[in-house]
Amino acid sequence: MIKRPANSRSSAPVVPLRKGTTLQMVRLACPDAAQCSLISESFGLPVLDSDAIRDLHEKLMVETAAALDEALGERAMQIHLQRIVGAFVGSAYGAGQFYSRAVSEARDATAKSACDDRDEDVDGPVGFDSTAQRKREFAADMALQSHALRMAAEGAVAAYEQVVGEAWKPFERATENPGKAVDRKAAELQMAALG
């Protein structure tokens, strides 16, 4: 029989953390200003003023912090702004994911409509858009929405750093798993009953 060396690691339980959404994740999911301008031009949509959206949200957050300055202590302000900025970032990320799905559906529909052997994807009567065209237009609308929310999130993150004095990071908390505690208690009761 082979003797194995004792494990030098401590036997303390490892608590997994629930990872928060970062601004980098938002930037990867949502289109940037150049792509958004190209989409606007290609689909005849309004061109967004990205810098104005970002600046307005930064100013909004800074003014909110100034209004609460006397009522909140430094740590309370940090926690409050952490939550608000987290909501902006989470909203933008959700919109970016929705945009990505819309683009995938538009690509699939466009690829299917390019196949001459399919009857179900043939354009409708004159004056009506095809399904593929409607999906492309919907994806373009989602691009503008997700970009606008990205810029709002970037403004909020910049304001956080300006007010708090440190870069914003998503809050990471321990994952909740109440089932384990209940299972453990049930096992203890059952073992006690067995004697």
pLDDT tens-digit readout, 96-133: 999 999 999 999 888 887 665 555 555 555 554 688 88
189 in a structural domain: no
Note whether 48 and 36 are within 8 A (CB).
yes
Q: Looking at the domain assignment, is residue 62 inside a domain? A: yes
The reply to whether 14 falls in a domain is no
* Domain encompassing residue 81: 20-116+129-171
Contact 42, 173 (CB under 8 A): no
Number of domains the chain contains: 1
Please give the Cα distance from 75 to 92 (Å, whole number).
26
Q: Please give the model's pTM, rounded to 2 decimal places.
A: 0.73
- The list of the chain residues with pLDDT below 70 reads 1-18, 114-129, 173-182
Is 6 part of a structural domain of the chain?
Answer: no
